[in-house]
Structure 1
Amino acid sequence: MNVIIVADHSFINGGQAKVAIESALGLAARGNRIVFFSAVGPADPRMEAAGIEVIVLGQTDVALTTSLASFGVQWLWNRPAAIRLEALLAGYDPGDSVVHVHGWAKALSPSVGPVLRATKVPVVFTMHEYYLACPNGGFYDYPVSAACHRTPLSPACIAHNCDSRSYTRKLMRVGRHALMRYTGMIGSVATVITISRLQKTVIAPYLPKRTRYYEVSNPVDAEPLGRKTEGRLGDIVFVGRISPEKGANVFAEAARIAGANVVFVGDGPQRARLEADYPEARFLGWKNPDEVKALMRSARALVFPSVWYEGQPLTVLESLAAGTPVIVSDICAGREAVEDGVNGLWFASGKPDSLAAALTRLADDGEARRMSDAAYDLFWTDPLTLDRHLDGIEDVYRRSLAYAPRPASVRAIHA
Structure 2
Amino acid sequence: MRILVVHNYYQHQGGEDMVFHQEINALRQDHEVTELTFQNKTGFSGLLQFLSYPFNLIASNRIKRAIKDSRPDVVHIHNIHYASGPMIISAVNSSRIPIVMTLHNYRLICPSATLFYKNSIFTNSLTENFPWTAVKLGVLDNSVLKSFWVACSYWIHKKLGTFHKINTFIVLSDFAKSVFLKSKINLPSDNFAVKGNYVADPQMSPQAKGESFIFIGRLAEEKGILPLIEALKGTSHFLKIFGAGPQQHEVERLTADVPNITYFGFQENDVIQQHLIDANALLVPSICYEGMPMTILESFALSTPVISSNIGILAKMVIPLYTGLHFDPFEKRSIIASLDQWQSLDSSVKSSIGANCRKEYIDKYTPTRNMSTLIAIYKNVILNTKQS
The two structures share one fold, judged by TM-score above 0.5: yes
Between stretches 180-189 and 388-397, larger displacement belongs to 180-189
Residue 145 (structure 1) aligns with: 119
Between stretches 374-383 and 214-223, larger displacement belongs to 374-383
Is contact 1:117–1:184 with CA below 8 Å preserved after alignment?
A: no
Aligned CA distance change for structure 1 residues 373 and 157 (closer, same or farther; 3 Å): closer
| Matching of residues 252-401 of structure 1 within 5 Å | 252-256=229-233, 258-279=235-256, 280=258, 281-364=261-344, 366=346, 369-370=350-351, 372-379=353-360, 381-382=362-363, 384-401=365-382
Q: CA deviation at 1:89?
A: 2.6
CA distance in 2, matches of 1:13, 1:222: 23
Residue 36 (structure 1) aligns with: 35
SS in 1 for 2:307: strand
Counterpart of 1:170 in structure 2: which amino acid?
A: S
Counterpart of 2:315 in structure 1: which amino acid?
A: R
Between stretches 386-395 and 251-260, larger displacement belongs to 251-260
Among 81, 84, 87, the alignment partner of 2:65 is 87
Q: CA deviation at 1:66?
A: 4.0
CA distance in 1, matches of 2:365, 2:306: 17
Between stretches 323-332 and 270-279, larger displacement belongs to 270-279
How far does the alpha carbon of each residue in 1:20-49 deviate from its partner, in whole angstroms, 9 at most, with x for none? 22212222211x211101113xxxxxxxxx
Residue 45 (structure 1) aligns with: none
Give TM-score, length-normalised by structure 2: 0.88
Counterpart of 1:226 in structure 2: which amino acid?
A: S
Residue 197 (structure 2) aligns with: 218
How far does the alpha carbon of each residue in 1:332-390 deviate from its partner, in whole angstroms, 9 at most, with x for none? 32333321122211122433322221122223473583365334443355252212111
Structure 2 residue runs without a partner (length 5+): none
Aligned CA distance change for structure 1 residues 185 and 294 (closer, same or farther; 3 Å): farther
Report the count of equivalent residues: 378
Q: CA deviation at 1:211?
A: 4.2
CA distance in 2, matches of 1:105, 1:11: 11
Counterpart of 2:65 in structure 1: which amino acid?
A: A
Between stretches 101-110 and 148-157, larger displacement belongs to 148-157
Aligned CA distance change for structure 1 residues 185 and 330 (closer, same or farther; 3 Å): farther
Q: CA deviation at 1:284?
A: 1.3
Is contact 2:171–2:195 with CA below 8 Å preserved after alignment?
A: yes
Q: Does 1:103 align with 2:92?
A: no
Residue 102 (structure 2) aligns with: 126
Among 176, 198, 207, the alignment partner of 2:175 is 198
Between stretches 320-329 and 180-189, larger displacement belongs to 180-189
Identity of aligned residues (%): 21
Is contact 1:267–1:286 with CA below 8 Å preserved after alignment?
A: yes
| Matching of residues 24-63 of structure 1 within 5 Å | 24-30=24-30, 32-40=31-39, 61=40
CA distance in 2, matches of 1:315, 1:296: 9
Q: CA deviation at 1:199?
A: 0.9
How far does the alpha carbon of each residue in 1:216-254 deviate from its partner, in whole angstroms, 9 at most, with x for none? 22221232433323xx61411111100011111221122
Counterpart of 1:212 in structure 2: which amino acid?
A: N
Aligned CA distance change for structure 1 residues 303 and 18 (closer, same or farther; 3 Å): same
- CA RMSD in angstroms, aligned pairs only: 2.7
SS in 2 for 1:164: coil
